[in-house]
Amino acid sequence: MKPGKLITIEGGEGVGKTTCLRYLGAEIQRQGMDLWQTREPGGTALGEALRHIALGHEYAGMTEKAELLLMFAARAEHIHRKILPALQAGQWVLCDRFIDATYAYQGGGRGLPQDRIQWLEKWVQAGLTPDLTLLMDMPVKQGLKRARQRSVPDRVESESISFFEQVRQAYLARAAQEPERIKVIDASCELDDVEAQVMVVLGEFFARHT
Ligand code: TMP
């Protein structure tokens, strides 16, 4: 068994992951854990280069299969070079997006078959799954409004409302399938309430795992 823990945070665009990561990371460290924070796609030199290719507008119109494989290429590198060594060393890894994003965006949003994603997951991850996933959920329009005010949309962020509705439904379907691991946070409410929900989930996780 790996000594460390892998915690991931997921959600559609503009749901407040960045703010949540800040206090989640602070609380994990306050509990005395050695924390390493990272993101997908990314987290390694090659992963960040693949992120640039996958999300930039340079390759607008890239095929869905290529997009899927870029996500898994970045993940293969990330797991092998960074995540597994960190977990083996007992670190707690906090990752901004991971495999659930692939099911939500490439599966739900792009409509790629689940069984292909499952096959790649098995091969690339070889049994590595997050110990805890926080799914920040809010109505699509609310999230997109925030995201689009914040920065110029990247290639994926430029998709239609219906794409993001599919993404949200795919995320929620996964949460319904794996309620022990994936905890849905209502991110549409006031910031303090969102933080309170996250802290309850984290508190329960600590109670079970430390
Ligand atoms: P973000 O981390 O800034 O939210 O941006 C990452 C983008 O990459 C986001 O639009 C979702 C997308 N993405 C996928 O489409 N599939 C994946 O597997 C991952 C990890 C991210």
- Atom 4, ligand 1: residue with shortest CA distance: 13
Atom of ligand 1 nearest to the CA of 74: 20
Domain covering 6-209 in this structure, CATH number: 3.40.50.300
Residue 149, classified by CB atoms within 10 Å of its CB into exposed (0-12), middle (13-18) or buried (19+), is exposed
Domain boundaries, the chain: 6-209
Residue indicated by tokens 């990561």: 21
Encoded amino acid at 56, one letter: G
- pLDDT at residue 63 tops 90: yes
- Residue 118 backbone dihedrals phi, psi, to 5 degrees: -60, -40
Atom of ligand 1 nearest to the CA of 42: 20
pTM above the 0.95 mark?
yes
Instruction: Give the model confidence (pLDDT) of 166-189 as tens digits.
Output: 999 999 999 999 999 999 999 999
**Does any ligand 1 atom lie closer than 6 A to the CB of residue 77?**
no
Please tell me the predicted confidence (pLDDT) of residue 60.
92
State the Cα–Cα distance between residues 146 and 1, nearest whole angstrom. Answer: 40
Atom of ligand 1 nearest to the CA of 97: 20
- Atom 19, ligand 1: residue with shortest CA distance: 101
Collapsed DSSP state (helix, strand, coil) of residue 12:
coil
The string of DSSP codes covering 174-206 is HHHH-TTTEEEEETTS-HHHHHHHHHHHHHHHH
**Does any ligand 1 atom lie closer than 6 A to the CB of residue 105?**
yes
State the Cα–Cα distance between residues 106 and 113, nearest whole angstrom. Answer: 9
Please tell me the predicted confidence (pLDDT) of residue 1.
57
Local structure of residue 152 (DSSP, 8 states):
-
State the Cα–Cα distance between residues 78 and 48, nearest whole angstrom. Answer: 10
- Atom 15, ligand 1: residue with shortest CA distance: 105
- pLDDT at residue 57 tops 60: yes
Pocket test for ligand 1, best of 13, 97, 163 (most atoms within 8 A of CB): 97
State the Cα–Cα distance between residues 51 and 31, nearest whole angstrom. Answer: 32
State the Cα–Cα distance between residues 21 and 170, nearest whole angstrom. Answer: 22
CA of 27 to the centre of ligand 1 (A): 25
Encoded amino acid at 169, one letter: Q
Instruction: Give the model confidence (pLDDT) of 123-172 as tens digits.
Output: 999 999 999 999 999 999 999 999 988 888 999 988 999 999 999 999 99
Pocket test for ligand 1, best of 103, 156, 164 (most atoms within 8 A of CB): 156
Please tell me the predicted confidence (pLDDT) of residue 99.
98
- If one compares 28 and 1, the residue with the highest pLDDT of the two is 28
Q: Is the peptide bond before 139 cis (omega within 30 degrees of 0)?
A: no
